[in-house]
Each structure stands twice: as structure tokens, then as C-alpha cells.
């Protein structure tokens, strides 16, 4: 395996520093709820109830926490409209859109290799069952 572009890069470096922001950001944006919310907001802005309906299995509290974290990190913009009843929309920021592009690359890779991964899992499970 050719690792030439990464010869000077040690992936553990960011994991060992006290309070490392890279690790904190990766933990935040790579959790399953954040990934789903970012993917949904890529299409258009959505209201809280629309997001809740679209994200299967998420609780109201977890969606609230996820949106607050994404807003704090500058990935999602929350817009409160001065109407009665109050209306709040959530949309990706330009920074959030760049993250969506990266997530889409990961999804594309997963789709291209899902057969190989399924075969590897089956082989592993068969070997583990025989052990």
C-alpha cells in the first residue's frame, strides 16, 4: 500500500493531545444523527418537525441537541421567523455544505464496496462460529 502522501502524518497525533479540537469536531460531525441531519438539509431548509419526521428513531431531545451542536459549530443556520405561531427553519451553512460533499464521498465509497464488505462479514462470522 502506497502511503507516500501521508508519510509525515501520524493519525494518533490529534488523538493524544489534551482537549484536541480535531477529535472533538470529528466526534461531533461523525455521529449518526449529525450525518443524517446534514444529508437532509443538503436538499433544502427544513423545520424541526420535518426533520423529526424524516430522521427515523431520533427523539425530540436528541434532535434538539444535535441541531444546537451543529449550529454552534457553524454547520447549520437556525432562522426564527417573526410569525405566530413561531416558525423556525434549519439550513446548511456554506461550511456545512462542504462537509456534506465529504460525507457524500464516503457514501459513494460505501455503495461501491458494500458487496465486498458483506462478503468479509460473512466470512468472519462463519470463521467465528466455527471457532
Domain CATH code at residue 69:
1.10.10.10
Contacts (Cβ under 8 Å, ≥6 apart) of 104: none
pTM of the model: 0.74
Residue 31 in any domain: the answer is yes
Residue 20 in any domain: the answer is yes
Enter the C-alpha cell of residue 24.
472533538
- Residue 57 CA to residue 36 CA, distance in Å, equals 11
Domain that residue 46 falls in: 10-130
Residue 4 in any domain: the answer is no
Residue 1 in any domain: the answer is no
Q: Which helix (H) or strand (E) covers residue 44, if one does?
A: none
Count up the domains in the chain and report the number: 1
Render each residue's pLDDT in the chain as its tens digit; 131 residues.
555 555 555 656 655 555 678 888 888 888 889 999 999 999 999 999 999 999 999 999 999 999 999 999 999 999 999 999 889 999 999 999 999 988 889 889 999 999 999 999 999 999 999 87
Residue 115 CA: distances (Å) to CA of 52, 110, 126: 31, 9, 16
Amino acid at each position: 500500500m502506497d502511503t507516500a502522501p501521508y508519510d509525515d502524518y501520524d493519525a494518533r497525533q490529534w488523538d493524544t493531545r489534551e482537549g484536541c479540537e480535531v477529535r472533538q469536531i470529528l466526534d461531533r460531525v461523525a455521529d449518526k444523527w449529525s450525518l443524517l441531519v446534514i444529508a437532509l438539509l443538503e436538499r433544502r431548509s427544513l423545520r424541526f418537525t420535518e426533520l423529526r419526521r424524516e430522521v427515523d428513531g431520533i427523539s425530540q431531545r436528541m434532535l434538539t441537541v444535535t441541531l444546537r451542536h451543529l449550529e454552534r459549530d457553524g454547520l447549520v443556520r437556525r432562522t426564527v421567523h417573526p410569525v405566530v405561531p413561531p416558525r423556525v427553519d434549519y439550513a446548511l451553512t456554506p461550511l456545512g455544505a462542504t462537509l456534506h460533499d465529504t460525507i457524500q464521498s464516503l457514501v459513494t465509497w460505501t455503495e461501491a464496496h458494500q458487496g465486498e464488505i458483506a462478503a468479509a462479514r460473512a466470512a468472519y462470522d462463519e470463521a467465528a462460529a466455527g471457532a
